[in-house]
Chains A and B, each alone.
Chain A
Amino acid sequence: MPIYAPSLPPRANLTRSKSPIAVMARFDLTRIFRQKLGRFYGFVFLTILIIQISVLYTKYLVATQQGLEQLKGLADQLLPNQANFQASLLHSSMLLFLWLQAAIISGGLISRDTLYRIRPLIYAHPVRPLDYLASKALVAFGIPFCIQLPFIILPWLLSMLIAGLSGPVWPTAPLYLIPAAILNSIVMASVTLGASALAASPKSGMGWAVGLLIFPSAVGGILTKIFRDGSWMALSPIALTESWPEILCGVDNPTAPLWPTIIATALHIGLWAYVARRRTEPAEAVI
């Protein structure tokens, strides 16, 4: 038997203090943290980070310890060097897990609202469709960016601390890698939000997101084989995120060349941002 309050206290004064974008993004983040994805992915990313730092330290030891002189050749053969090493700080294995995590998290951002039919109710509040999309984009961009950041900053800091300017990580490496992480995060956010907007439930959102990763990658791979031209790999969002650190760090043979990477990045961002915007319009939400 419910107990009812005698009445409701006097009306509250509306004191708008935060933008709806921040309110919705914070609410989504709270829900995401409750999914407890951090346990598995935290372990994975930490393991990869430890390996990266071990490689860095090994390179440092080989370069500085005279007793390890005979290992130098082997280390140069096995471990990436120069631009390749800088680009490998955002390692392809880390990026692949990051894509999977983005598919799980961001794939459910819009589709969860579709499933519970709360978008019309959101739009019944003083929220514009662009606010809604911006809040989702903020979360979808922010999470992968924040995860990539330690992979750039920690090795760079360690290198600077132990070896100064002549360490294995270039002093200027963050200037290349942070823009690469930003571009990667934008690509991840747009693809996964587009997938989420197409889906009717978080699970199908994840499915769509994984599909949007695998299908263009498969097509890109096939076309690369047929035409013997690596440019086609730019169709793959995964290859794009591998290419940007390589291109910005000046790797000789990046996964996909510069111009196809620029065009494909613009296409992916434009297409999926358009899909997400169209699918989250109020008219779409109420019919």
Chain B
Amino acid sequence: MQVSRRRVDHKGDALISFQDLEVRYGPTIALKGLNLALEDGIVGLLGPNGSGKSTLLKTLLGLLKPYRGGGAVMGIPLDDAASLRLRATIGYMPEYDALIEDVSAYEQVAFWGELSGLNREQARDRSHEVLYFVGLDESRYRNVSGYSTGMRQRVKLAQALVHSPRLVFLDEPTNGLDPFGRRKMLELVLKVRSELSTSVILASHLLEDVERVSDQLVILDKGEIRASGKMADLRHILSKRFELRFLAPLTPEQEARLAEIGGLLENLNGLYDIELRETDASVPFKWAESAGAVLVQVTPRLDRLDEILIRAIRGTNA
């Protein structure tokens, strides 16, 4: 039984907003009462496999109906009446192949363009342009069945961009790519934002990908938002994180006094992972001097975004 869906107001300036959004597959709750507002830019949707990323994208596309709550994408509400209008302004690159194997990339991108509302001539012209943009030049006339994984991903990206959407949903765009291919794909994602002014929602389980291109981050797990915010804020938090190594293990009293300079996150056999109150690496040395400890090494932990993800998923100190 579906609970009555109420129409939900959304923030006018938000790219995407949703309130109390719940989506179910039969009795299984895929998304649990999500509340969020996202701004223009590249939004990284991060979470382990099965966390609800694809379900969220499909809900935002109007492919799945919310069981409860609602939201809006670019001011267009998530309801049946507006779903066609919404889909005409969005591009979607699915996670799985979704390519028509027995036709060329050029033909199928033109087909998707026509389905998005371009007329036949526009769709053909645009297909050439967008395939060239993603780096498929002469090979665009070949049947997709002979393409490598990287080429297939680029065709999928091209079909999402062919009608010049204001927003694209990219679901695991680097799936199956080698490191070089991944780098190229992420460069393309950045180009989509910087040159086409298109906002991007990038769903991935790969932290590096999201970290490299996103300026906002949403961490999903088991259908719930564990953390969200701007990457700049996250990097600011990370810039306060340091690993401290002392000559001798701290006494319990000294450990208790660590709270004077920040929060102790982890103690790994004498290695103290700490989040300082300010981004000043000299603070631990001053504290060590006052506490009678010998600090031998202070290591910035800018690389520990993965820990934030893990902590967020564990539900601790996100």
Contacts of B129 in A (CB 8 A): 5, 8-9
Closest to B196 in A: A8
**Which residues on the B side are within 8 Å of A17 (C-beta)?**
119-120
Residues of B within 8 Å of A14, CB to CB, are 88, 116-118, 163
Determine if B133 and A126 form an interchain contact, defined as CB atoms under 8 angstroms apart: no
B98:A12 contact, CB within 8 angstroms: no
Residues of B with C-beta under 8 A to A283: 64
Q: Which of A19-27, A93-101, A235-243 contacts its partner?
A: A19-27
Say whether B111 contacts A23, CB under 8 Å.
Answer: yes
Residue A128 contacts which of B84, B132, B196 (CB distance < 8 angstroms)? B84
A221 within 8 A of B: no
Return the contact of B115 from the options A4, A9, A15, A125 (Cβ within 8 A).
A125
Q: Digitize A1-42: 1 where CB-to-B-CB distance is under 8 Å, 0 elsewhere.
A: 011110111011111111010011001001100100000000
Chain B residues closer than 8 Å to A18, beta-carbon distance: 114, 119-120
Instruction: Tell whether B195 is near chain A: CB-to-CB under 8 Å.
Output: yes
- In the complex, A55 has a CB within 8 A of chain B: no
Residue of B whose beta carbon sits closest to that of A119: B98
- B44-95 contacts to A (CB < 8 Å): 58, 61, 63-64, 84-85, 87-88, 90, 92, 94
| Of A31, A123, A124, most B-chain CB atoms within 10 Å | A124
Say if the beta carbon of A78 comes within 8 Å of chain B. no
Distance (whole angstroms) from the CB of A99 to the closest CB of chain B: 24
Q: Are A3 and B98 in contact (CB-based, < 8 A)?
A: no
Contact in complex: A286, B63 (CB < 8 Å): yes
User: Residue B291 at the A interface, CB < 8 A?
Assistant: no
Which residue on chain B has the smallest CB distance to residue A17? B119
In the complex the two chains form, what is the Cα distance from A122 to B159 in whole Å? 11
Q: B118–A12 contact, CB under 8 A?
A: yes
Cα distance, A118 to B112, chains bound together (Å) = 11
Cβ B112 vs Cβ A125 within 8 A: yes
Q: How far is the CA of A127 from the CA of B115 in the complex (A)?
A: 7
In the assembled complex, A116 has its CB within 8 A of some CB on chain B? yes
Contact with A along B20-38 (1 / 0, CB 8 A): 0000010000000000000
Q: Say which residue of B58, B61, B103, B163 sits within 8 Å of A12 (CB atoms).
A: B163
Taking the closest CB of chain B, its distance from the CB of A5, in whole angstroms, is 4
**Interface assignment of A225: CB less than 8 Å from any CB of chain B:** no
Q: Which of A117-144 contact B (CB under 8 A)?
A: 117-118, 120-128
The answer on a CB contact under 8 Å between A8 and B133 is yes
CB distance from B92 to the nearest CB of A (A): 4
- Is the pair A2, B133 in contact by a Cβ cutoff of 8 Å? no
The yes or no answer to B126 lying at the interface (CB within 8 A) is yes
Contact residues of A: prevailing secondary structure: loop
Please tell me if the beta carbons of B135 and A123 are within 8 angstroms of each other in the complex. Answer: no
A2 CA / B157 CA spacing, docked (Å): 15
Q: Give the complex CA separation of A30 and B108 in angstroms.
A: 12
Q: How far is the CB of A221 from chain B (nearest CB, A)?
A: 38
Give min CB distance, A206 to chain B, whole Å. Answer: 16
**Residues of A contacting B97 in the complex (Cβ-Cβ under 8 angstroms):** 116-117
- Of B97, B115, B122, most A-chain CB atoms within 10 Å: B115
Q: Are A121 and B195 in contact (CB under 8 A)?
A: no
A283 to B101, CA, bound (A): 24
- List the B residue with the shortest CB-CB distance to A1: B135
Among B117, B119, B130, the most chain A Cβ lie within 10 Å of the Cβ of B117
**Shortest Cβ distance from residue B101 to the other chain A in the assembled complex, whole angstroms:** 6
CB distance from B242 to the nearest CB of A (A): 40
What is the minimal beta-carbon distance from B13 to any residue of chain A, in angstroms?
Answer: 21
Closest Cβ neighbor of B90 among chain A residues: A124
* Nearest B residue (CB) for A20: B115
Distance of A2 Cα from B25 Cα, bound (Å): 41
Q: Is the C-beta of B100 less than 8 angstroms from some C-beta in chain A?
A: yes
B96 within 8 A of partner (CB): yes
Give B83 Cβ to nearest chain A Cβ, in Å: 8
Cβ-neighbour of B133 out of A4, A11, A116, A286 (below 8 A): A4
List the B side residues contacting A9 at CB < 8 Å. 129
- Asked if A287 is at the interface (CB within 8 A of a chain B CB), the reply is yes
Contact A3 B137 (CB under 8 A): yes
Whole-angstrom distance from the CB of B57 to the nearest CB of chain A?
9
Q: A8-B130, A12-B126, A126-B85 are in contact. Are A282 and B63 (CB under 8 A)?
A: yes
Q: Does B102 contact A (CB under 8 A)?
A: yes
The yes or no answer to B161 lying at the interface (CB within 8 A) is yes
Contacting residue for B117 out of A7, A30, A31, A126, CB 8 A:
A126
In chain A, positions 257-273 with a C-beta closer than 8 Å to chain B are none
Chain B residues whose CB sits within 8 angstroms of the CB of A128 once the complex forms:
84
A124-B133 contact in complex given A31-B102, A117-B98, C-beta closer than 8 Å: no
Q: In the complex the two chains form, what is the Cα distance from A16 to B123 in whole Å?
A: 11
Indicate if the CB atoms of A12 and B132 lie closer than 8 Å: no
Judge whether A31 and B115 touch: CB under 8 Å: no
Q: Does B216 contact A (CB under 8 A)?
A: no
Q: Can you spell out 20 A-B residue pairs with CB atoms less than 8 angstroms apart?
A: A4-B135, A12-B118, A12-B122, A14-B116, A14-B118, A23-B114, A31-B103, A34-B102, A120-B94, A121-B92, A122-B115, A124-B90, A124-B92, A125-B115, A125-B116, A126-B84, A126-B115, A126-B117, A127-B84, A285-B63
7 additional A-B residue pairs with CB within 8 Å, beyond A8-B129, A121-B159: A2-B137, A5-B135, A23-B115, A117-B94, A118-B98, A120-B63, A283-B64
Chain B: residues with CB nearer than 8 A to chain A?
25, 58, 61, 63-64, 84-85, 87-88, 90, 92, 94, 96-103, 107, 111-112, 114-120, 122, 125-126, 129-130, 132-137, 154, 159, 161, 163-164, 184, 191, 195-196
The 3 closest A-B pairs by CB, nearest first: A11-B164, A2-B135, A124-B92
